[in-house]
Amino acid sequence: MDINLIKNIFKSLFGNELRVYTSPGRVNLIGEHTDYNGGFVFPGAIDKGIYAAINPNGTYKIRAYSIDYQAKAEFGMNEDDAPKESWARYIFGVVREMQKRGFEPKGFDTVFAGDVPLGAGMSSSAALESTFAFALNDIYNLGIDKFELARIGQSTEHNYCGVKCGIMDQFASIFGKKGHLMRLNCATMEFEYFQFDPKGYKVVLLDTVVKHELASSAYNKRRESCENACAHIAAKHPEVKYLSDATMLMLEEVKNEISQEDYMRAKYVIGEKQRVLDVCAALEKGDYETVGDRMYGTHYGMSKEYEVSCDELDFLNDIAKECGVTGSRVMGGGFGGCTINLVKEELYDKFIATAKEKFNKKFGHYPKVYDVVISDGARKLNL
Ligand code: GLA
């Protein structure tokens, strides 16, 4: 990322005094659509993120310039003075969610840009929220703990961006640690860092460059299905608070009470819980074959049961299988974006070349390729 460009634009628009903050996107090895079901996720922060130059301006207004959109927005700090630009609502939402919790950030000027691809399932929006949540907390000494910073980002998605997301993306963006994945229990928010250095393997993302317009409403609908299935199970088993607490047997008991669709969604979530646990056990033994096998299992579930895949993602998954890639699956919310692939080093070149060629032949454009580098979470840059 060209930090000097951000600094120079800031200086030309707002003056010389500034600080720069960044927060990254994330990958997730396994545990998809489990966060809002009280299950486990296994993300890590990546070396791509949002970078913002920022300085208090002594008013109660926010003046923001997005380098990527080449657009300026000016807005206040209450609901009557909200921005119309969708990118600015992420910043406004963070400010409002802080205020709702009793914290009092003041006005500021900012210029920001990012190198985390938009809509590719790498959480560019969480990176944006986390950058501003972290920065405002630091600048105004608000004393908000890191979990609450993540929740502020999550509530911003819920209340200002229309996505009823879980906590995984904001958590990973704030808590990320170089070389480590994090296993988070989303019911209790307990987590552990796992050193992740799969010797002899590479982790690579293949981006379909497909963005699905209806992704957020479809995402919210998946969540409703899960909550409905969970409510039926909980009526018989009060100990079940989240769908991830339920077993397949419990789901079978309510099969005739819920729609076939809700049943399939719940089946995926309950299956995914076991796959995450299998992967954790396998990682401790360095058993990457099992890790990869469960990744394929997740892809199947997300494609056939949860139905959040698409032709392009399924195609990439098939190619991975054909090329002998150890593990491959759609990553993140789905409906487009990337597959995450665990591939033996000696197969890497052949796999990438084959995937590019075949994908282009079928869909008329190349997938993008991103090597995964697990990096640190939200921070202030030393200028
Ligand atoms: C999106 C959401 C997350 C999570 C994933 C799916 O990235 O923001 O909270 O639900 O989808 O695992």
pLDDT at 212 over 80: no
**210 and 111 in one domain?**
no
Q: Determine the Cα–Cα distance for residues 255 and 271; give it in Å rounded to an integer.
A: 16
Structural domain for 88, as ranges = 3-197+375-380
**206 and 69 in one domain?**
no
Look up the CATH number of the domain holding residue 75: 3.30.230.10
**193 and 206 in one domain?**
no
**133 and 7 in one domain?**
yes
**183 and 235 in one domain?**
no
Ligand 1 atom, smallest distance to 34 CA? 12
**157 and 206 in one domain?**
no
**342 and 206 in one domain?**
yes
pLDDT at 185 over 70: yes
Q: What is the mean pLDDT of residues 214-227?
A: 91
Distance in Å, CA 58 to ligand 1 centroid:
36
Residues with CB under 6 A from ligand 1: 32-33, 35-36, 123, 165-166, 168-169, 332-333
Q: Determine the Cα–Cα distance for residues 59 and 360; give it in Å rounded to an integer.
A: 51
> What is the percentage of the chain residues whose pLDDT exceeds 90?
96
Q: What is the mean pLDDT of residues 125-141?
A: 98
Ligand 1 atom, smallest distance to 41 CA? 12
pLDDT at 233 over 70: yes
The percent helix, strand, coil of the chain (3-state, each to 5) is: 45, 20, 30
Ligand 1 atom, smallest distance to 32 CA? 12
* Nearest protein CA to atom 9 of ligand 1, as residue: 166
* Nearest protein CA to atom 10 of ligand 1, as residue: 33
Q: Determine the Cα–Cα distance for residues 279 and 295; give it in Å rounded to an integer.
A: 9
Distance in Å, CA 218 to ligand 1 centroid:
12
Q: Determine the Cα–Cα distance for residues 102 and 104; give it in Å rounded to an integer.
A: 7
Written as six digits, the tokens of 130 are: 């986390």
Distance in Å, CA 332 to ligand 1 centroid:
5
**205 and 185 in one domain?**
no
The least confident of 172-176, 215-219, 269-273, 297-301 is: 215-219
**225 and 181 in one domain?**
no
Distance in Å, CA 122 to ligand 1 centroid:
10
- Write out pLDDT tens, residues 283-341: 989 999 999 999 999 999 999 999 999 999 999 999 999 999 999 999 999 999 999 99
**93 and 221 in one domain?**
no
**262 and 177 in one domain?**
no
Catalytic residue among 35, 109, 169, 245: 169
Q: In this structure, what DSSP letter does residue 36 have?
A: G
Confidence of residue 214 (pLDDT cuts 50, 70, 90): low
* Nearest protein CA to atom 11 of ligand 1, as residue: 333
Q: Determine the Cα–Cα distance for residues 173 and 156; give it in Å rounded to an integer.
A: 15
Distance in Å, CA 155 to ligand 1 centroid:
13
Look up the CATH number of the domain holding residue 306: 3.30.70.890
Ligand 1 atom, smallest distance to 31 CA? 12
Q: What is the mean pLDDT of residues 154-183?
A: 97
pTM of the model as a whole: 0.97
Question: By the 8 A CB rule, do 6 and 67 touch?
Answer: yes
Report CA-CA distances (Å) from 346 to 10, 158, 200, 343: 45, 43, 8, 8
In the residue annotation, 169 being an active-site residue is answered as: yes
Ligand 1 atom, smallest distance to 126 CA? 8
**343 and 226 in one domain?**
yes
Q: How many domains does the chain have?
A: 2
Q: Residue 201 pairs with which residues in a beta bridge?
A: 344
Q: What is the mean pLDDT of residues 268-272?
A: 97
Which of 28, 29, 32, 33 to mutate to test ligand 1, by most ligand atoms within 8 A of the CB atom? 33
pLDDT at 215 over 80: no
Q: Determine the Cα–Cα distance for residues 344 and 199; give it in Å rounded to an integer.
A: 9
> Which uninterrupted H or E stretch holds 276?
helix 260-284
Question: By the 8 A CB rule, do 250 and 242 touch?
Answer: no
Question: By the 8 A CB rule, do 116 and 50 touch?
Answer: yes
Distance in Å, CA 168 to ligand 1 centroid:
6
289, burial (CB in 10 Å: exposed 0-12, middle 13-18, buried 19+): exposed
Question: By the 8 A CB rule, do 351 and 343 touch?
Answer: yes
Q: What is the mean pLDDT of residues 53-79?
A: 98
Which residues, other chains included, contact 33 with Cβ-Cβ below 8 Å and sequence gap of 6+?
A: 166, 222, 226, 268, 269, 272, 302, 306, 308, 333
Q: What is the mean pLDDT of residues 102-123?
A: 94
* Nearest protein CA to atom 8 of ligand 1, as residue: 165
